[in-house]
Structure 1
Amino acid sequence: METLEAARRALSVQLEQSTGQKLALERARVENDRAARAQNDLQLRLQREAGVLEQRKLQAGMEEKRLLDRLWDTYGMTHQGALAVRVPVEDAAQAQRRTVQLNQAIQALGTVNLGAVEEFQRVEERYGYLKDQKNDVETAQRELEGVIQEITQEMEAIFRREFARIQAAFSQTFADLFGGGQGTLSLEDETDVLRCGIEIRAQPPGKTLRAISLLSGGERSLVAIALYFAILKIHPTPFCVVDEIEAALDEANGARFIRYLRAVASETQFLLITHRRETMEAADVLYGVTMERQGVSRVLKLDLHQAEALLDGAPA
């Protein structure tokens, strides 16, 4: 009893240490997820700001056009034409004669809007202000587009690098689970990797290479398991929960899945929810829920290694 109690305390200490490590890794994962969400939020915010700036640019262009139309409708002049009229006076006599000619022309025109000059100056100032605003908006838009392009290029580079690693790992895990054959991952559009789909093609032993949609249900499940373990090989986790992942597999493929799971169980702790007997036989510890009486559930635990040791030590 003392030995077992000491062993229990040692295991409790190990459990606390493992729990602390698990919590630390969970916090790291949460921080990474938070950073990824922050980057996504930044990209979305920049896209929204670019849309707002584009709308402001359109509004400024419409305002510019409205002012130029008003200048033309009111005075029959373009902006360049109005600027061309502002000629500096060099000869007073000539300017006097020109004044007389203009006065005659004004009288010929009839009643003249005396506030046209002030109106033109006001419109010109307004035009200059809007033009400066337009230039500022275009500059800000180019800067935002540059930032978005840099973020997109970085995301694309990361995706291509990780996809190549997963692709190589998938080929290996496919061959291990199927006992041979070939599995490939490919992008539907190499020029747009962030938006295109991913095509999975598989060639089980003795069959031709085909799309995953043409495989049987069990083969599709095993291909999905191979892809899952390929991702897990590239980015391993300390703890993994799967729910009846091998339910659609036949007996032979189920045995391959169990052998592969045992091979990688040294790096990741797996918790499997299953109803298959061969999977239960391969487990280290079994947990079950039973209802001894109505409305009362009880969790049962069976350590297969301890049970095997007890059976080996039992008298014949």
Structure 2
Amino acid sequence: MVDDLAAARALVGAHPGLRAVTRDGDVLAAHLAVGGGAGGSSVLQMRAALDQAAADLDAARVTAGRTAIGLESAAEAEHRAQAELDAAQARVTEAPTAIRVAQAGVSAAQGGLDQVRARQREADQRDAAAAKRLAQLEAAAQAAADEAARLAKSVAAAEEARAQAREEAAELEIRLAEAEYAGELESEPTTDARDDLAEATTAARQREMEARLQVRTAEERVKGLEGKADGLLRAAQRERHERAQAATQRARRKQLAVVADAVAKGAARVLRVLAGSIELAAGERDAADLARVAVDAELKQVRLRVRELGQELDKLVNRVHGSEVARTEQRLRLEQMEQRALADFGVEAEALVAEYGPDVPVPGEPPVPYERREQEKRARAAERQMTELGKVNPLALEEFAALEERHAFLNSQLEDLKNTRRELMTVVQEVDNRVQAMFAAAYEDVAREFEQIFTRVFPGGDGKLVLTDPADMLTTGIEVEARPPGKKVKRLSLLSGGERSLTAVAFLVSIFKARPSPFYVMDEVEAALDDTNTQRLLTLFEELRESSQLIVITHNKRTMEIADALYGVSMRGDGVTQVISQRLRERV
């Protein structure tokens, strides 16, 4: 901080690294000179301006970055357009068939060049906006520097006020000390004087404190403004450098755009020349195609004629070859026939021709002239008859005698079998008759006994046996009809379990009565019977025991009571069965 510009020049000349600020706000450095403003602004306004300047600087940096990106994108697009233009030009120089692809490539290159120009215009606009923004930032930086200078003046004034406040405070302290010392020496001062001195001291200290605060605040603001001002200046320098680079790139792109425009115009001229050449070549090609079509048609007719002649030649060659083969076969066949006639009959071919030749009539009644077709038919018929006869078997007589003897033997055996069959059929008939007689007698006896026994076990009921096929006693079946008293049903399937069981026992007892046996074995036949029916069954057992021995397995006590002896089977604790017998009465 210096008083005027002369002092600032002297200070900067002595120390080039320093920056001098005068009380009027002028800033002077080795490579910088900024004039101060005449008017002043408040601290809040300067801070707001400084913040706005910082924001504008950031926005300018972003804009500059976008501008740089846009310029780079424009440069890349220009390079791509140039590459496409080169590729299109290379395709133009190829065959005439690629002219449409080349035209499309040139059109795409021209479109890319237009896009590059549009992007270049946009980049120029952004560059102008960035330059305008840079000027605004420089103005804001200058205002910030002026504000820093004014704040420096405020700091100096605050330092002077602080020095004065310190002097006043020191003077008041001296006065207070003298007053206290004088009071001790002479007499105690009055209350009003002591209060005045205390208030003066407090006010001086307060002014000193405020001055210190102002000085500290001003120093901090000066430091912050100096830093922001330096940052703004550096940003402005960078912006200038970037603008210079952007201008250089823009100039280079303009040159490239001019070159690209010239190349596009040259390509257009080349395309026009190529279009004319292609039209001429197309006309010549069409004429050549017409000539080729005519030649192809004539060549096709010639080839068709050559193919037809070749087919006729093949037919003639095949026909000639077939004729030669047929003549050769005929000659070989004649030679074989001559050899066969000589070998089989001992007659030469001349003699056979003289005797059986085509000039000699065929023997018969009457002889007929020789006709080849008729004689071939006769020969084929004779060959078929010989084939049907087969070869001559010299052992046919012996085989016939053996077969005749075998036939006589088989006839005798057949007669024996017929006689044996007649005898067996007679025996079978006798057995069938006897079986029918025995079955009929047994059936009559059983049916008679069943009717009697059924009326005994079912008092008032009706039961009988009926044959299903009385005409054939060997295959007939037996149906049991049972009608207990008080019921109209006769079929066993409609009876109760006890009734069916008692009916079955009655049928068995009927068989026993009709054809007695030395003994009978029954297994719990009374299990499904009530006491009344059981008593009826026991009555039947009493009748059977008169002529036969009964072995009955039962759990019924009433059945056990009529038995002569009881045999019980039980299991001991060790798992071994034990038979216990007990005779109840002696048989008479």
Aligned partner (choices 231, 250, 269) of residue 511 of structure 2: 231
Q: 1:144 aligns with which of 418, 424, 441?
A: 424
Mark the CA change 1:179 to 1:116 in structure 2 (over 3 Å): closer, same or farther.
same
Deviations 1:223-244 (A, max 9, x none): 1110111111122234333110
Where do 1:15-54 residues align within 5 Å?
Answer: none
CA distance in 2, matches of 1:188, 1:204: 22
How far residue 296 of structure 1 moved from its aligned partner, in angstroms, is 5.2
Find the counterpart in structure 2 of residue 26 from structure 1: none
The question of whether the paired residues in 2 share the 8 Å contact of 1:171 and 1:182 is answered with yes
Tell me the equivalent position of 1:277.
557
Does the CA contact (< 8 Å) of 1:202 and 1:212 recur in 2? yes
- Residue 141 of structure 1 aligns with an amino acid whose one-letter code is R
Matched, 1:191 2:471: yes
Q: Which runs of 5+ in 1 are unaligned?
A: 1-108, 307-316
Greater alpha carbon shift after TM alignment, 259-268 vs 154-163: 259-268
Alpha-carbon separation, structure 1, partners of 2:456 and 2:401? 81
Given candidates 523, 536, 539, the residue that maps to 1:256 is 536
CA distance 1:239–1:138, change in 2 (3 Å): closer
Offset at residue 187 of structure 1 (A): 2.2
Q: CA deviation at 1:272?
A: 2.1
Separation (CA, whole Å) in 1 of partners of 2:545 and 2:411: 67
Give the Cα separation in 2 of the matches to 1:292 and 1:112: 97
TM-score (norm 2): 0.31
Question: What are the superposed Cα offsets for residues 275-308 of structure 1, whole Å, 9 maximum, x if unpaired?
Answer: 12333344444443445644355544555569xx
CA distance in 2 between counterparts of 1:302 and 1:252 reads 27
SS at match of 2:536: helix
Q: Which amino acid aligns with 1:239?
A: F
What corresponds to 1:244 in structure 2? 524
Letter in 1 for 2:438: I
Q: Specify which structure has the higher proportion of helix.
A: 2
CA deviation digits over 1:126-152, x for unaligned, max 9?
323322222221121111111122122
Question: Does the C-alpha gap of structure 1 residues 187 and 112 become closer, same or farther in structure 2, counting only changes over 3 Å?
Answer: same
Say whether residues 1:128 and 2:418 are aligned partners. Answer: no
SS in 2 for 1:288: strand
Structure 2: segments with no counterpart, 5+ residues: 1-384
Q: Structure 2 matches for 1:1-316, cutoff 5 A? A: 112-291=392-571, 293-295=573-575, 297-301=577-581
Q: Please name the residue that 1:70 is paired with.
A: none
**How many Å separate the matches in 2 of 1:289 and 1:200?**
37
Change (3 A) 1:123 1:174: same
Aligned to 2:359: none
The answer to whether the Cα contact below 8 Å between 1:174 and 1:180 also exists between their aligned partners in 2 is no
Q: Distance in 1 between matches of 2:519 and 2:417?
A: 50
In structure 1, give the amino acid aligned to 2:428: I
C-alpha deviation, 1:166, in angstroms: 0.9
CA distance in 1 between partners of 2:398 and 2:575 (Å): 91
| Counterpart residue identity of residue 548, structure 2 | T
Question: Which secondary structure does the structure 1 equivalent of 2:452 belong to?
Answer: helix
Residue 194 of structure 1 aligns to a residue whose secondary structure is: coil
Cα deviation digits, residues 26-49 of structure 1 (max 9, x gap): xxxxxxxxxxxxxxxxxxxxxxxx
In 2, distance between residues paired with 1:156 and 1:181?
31
Structure 1 distance, partners of 2:549, 2:493, is 31
What's 2:88 paired with? none
In structure 2, the CA distance between the partners of 1:203 and 1:125, relative to structure 1 (3 Å rule), is: same
TM-score for the superposition, normalised by structure 1: 0.55
Measure, in 2, the Cα distance between the counterparts of 1:281 and 1:122: 85
* Alpha-carbon distance in 2 for matches of 1:140, 1:304: 62
Once the 2 structures are TM-superposed, how far is the Cα of residue 112 of structure 1 from its aligned partner?
5.0
What letter matches 1:254 in structure 2? T
Structure 1 residues 261, 112: CA separation in 2 closer, same or farther (over 3 Å shift)? closer
Distance 1:246 1:193 in 2: 33
Partner of 2:9: none
Distance in 1 of aligned mates of 2:576 and 2:529: 34
Q: Which protein is bigger by CA-based radius of gyration?
A: 2
The C-alpha deviation readout for 1:48-101, integer Å capped at 9, x for no partner, is xxxxxxxxxxxxxxxxxxxxxxxxxxxxxxxxxxxxxxxxxxxxxxxxxxxxxx
Runs of 4+ in 1 over 6 A off after TM superposition: none
- Name the one with the larger strand percent: 1
Instruction: Identify which range, 256-265 or 282-291, moves more after superposition.
Output: 282-291
The DSSP-based 3-state class of the residue aligned with 2:486 is coil
Name the SS of the counterpart of 1:210 in structure 2. Answer: coil
Matching residue's letter, 1:228 = L
CA gap of 1:252–1:130, structure 2 versus 1, over 3 A, is same
Q: Aligned-pair distance for 1:254?
A: 1.8
User: 1:198-234: CA deviations, max 9, x gaps?
Assistant: 2111111122252223322211111111011111112
Identical aligned residues as a percent: 43
* 303 and 131 in structure 1: CA distance in 2 versus 1, 3 angstrom threshold: closer
CA RMSD, 1 decimal: 3.0
Specify whether residues 132 and 173 from structure 1 end up closer, same or farther in structure 2 by C-alpha distance, changes over 3 A only.
same
